[in-house]
């Protein structure tokens, strides 16, 4: 039997409990990450949805922001959803002046690009590697306005990318942790597993 993957979930703010449960349902061990020490031994990190400016402030206050920037520069696997995607982006087009970017993905994002809370919606999206559509929940969802040449679009809605990958970074505009479909979490675990095989820690 293969050893379980050990995945961290950033637990400063946002929907970290739902992500932790989804990862456990996929067979992973989960570590909630609130301090630098909580990163020890994990093989990948999930940054959940929530409120991106609050999350940014807490990353700075906890001392995690510079540590995460460094490990992501070295290809550490990370998965960001909604607000998590915003903080992973290289550029936040409408962010506050003090809002940090972890720069794990060469994308430009706009917060609440699909509208405010009342404009939240559900949409089946086509992911070519999946046999059936994925039912996605968009809640105050960010819009990806531009992508770099090393970013692969894995799914779109209309003319906008909503699920993207660059090397060991995966991100989506929606909330896969709020549905019972585990395929996107499994996709991330596959990325982590491949990284662990080729880059043992």
Q: Give the CA count within 13 Å in the CB-facing half-sphere of 11.
A: 17
pLDDT of residue 37: 94
What confidence tier does 197 reach under pLDDT thresholds 50, 70, 90?
Answer: low
Does residue 66 fall inside a structural domain?
yes
Which has the higher per-residue pLDDT, 112 or 57? 57
Contact 138, 124 (CB under 8 A): no
Residue 119: the pLDDT is 58
Q: Where are the alpha helices (DSSP H) in the chain?
A: 16-25, 52-62, 64-73, 83-88, 183-198
Identify the active-site residue in 168, 172, 177, 185: 177
Q: pLDDT value at position 51?
A: 86
The question of whether 82 is a catalytic residue gets the answer yes
What's the number of domains the chain is made of?
Answer: 1
> Is residue 145 pLDDT above 70, yes or no?
yes
* Residue from 11, 9, 18 nearest 174 by CA: 18
Output the pTM of the full model.
Answer: 0.93
For range 108-126, the mean pLDDT: 77
Query: Which domain does 65 fall in, by range?
Result: 6-198
80 lies in a domain? yes
1 lies in a domain? no
Tens-place pLDDT, residues 82-113: 999 999 999 988 766 677 889 999 999 987 66
The residue from 82, 168, 172, 185 that is catalytic is 82
pLDDT at 117 over 80: no
CATH code for the domain in which residue 116 is found = 3.40.50.880
Average pLDDT along the chain: 90
What pLDDT was estimated at residue 179? 95
Residue 110 lies in a domain: yes
The yes-or-no verdict on residue 169 having pLDDT over 90 is: yes
Q: Is 177 a catalytic residue?
A: yes
Beta strand segments in the chain, E: 6-10, 29-33, 44-47, 78-81, 89-92, 105-110, 121-125, 134-138, 143-147, 152-157, 160-166, 169-172
What pLDDT score does 50 carry?
87
Mean pLDDT on 46-70 = 91
Please give the DSSP secondary-structure letter assigned to residue 151: P
- Cα–Cα distance for residue pair 86/109, rounded to 1 Å: 6
């Amino acid at each position: 039997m293969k050893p379980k993957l050990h995945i961290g979930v950033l637990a400063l703010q946002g929907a970290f409990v739902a992500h932790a449960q989804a990862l456990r349902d996929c067979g992973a061990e989960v570590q909630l990450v609130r301090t630098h020490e909580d990163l020890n031994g994990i093989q990948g990190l999930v940054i959940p949805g929530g409120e991106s400016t609050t999350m940014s402030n807490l990353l700075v206050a906890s001392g995690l922001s510079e540590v995460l920037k460094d490990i992501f520069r070295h290809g550490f696997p990370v998965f960001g959803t909604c607000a998590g995607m915003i903080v992973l982006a290289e550029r936040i087009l409408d962010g506050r002046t003090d809002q940090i970017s972890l720069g794990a993905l060469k994308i430009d994002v706009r917060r609440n690009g699909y509208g405010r809370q009342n404009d939240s919606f559900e949409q089946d999206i086509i992911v070519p590697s999946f046999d059936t559509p994925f039912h996605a929940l968009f809640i105050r969802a960010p819009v990806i306005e531009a992508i770099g040449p090393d970013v692969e679009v894995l799914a779109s809605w209309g003319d906008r990318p909503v699920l993207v990958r660059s090397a060991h970074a995966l991100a989506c505009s929606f909330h896969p942790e709020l549905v019972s479909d585990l395929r996107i979490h499994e996709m991330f675990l596959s990325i982590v597993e491949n990284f662990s095989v080729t880059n043992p820690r």
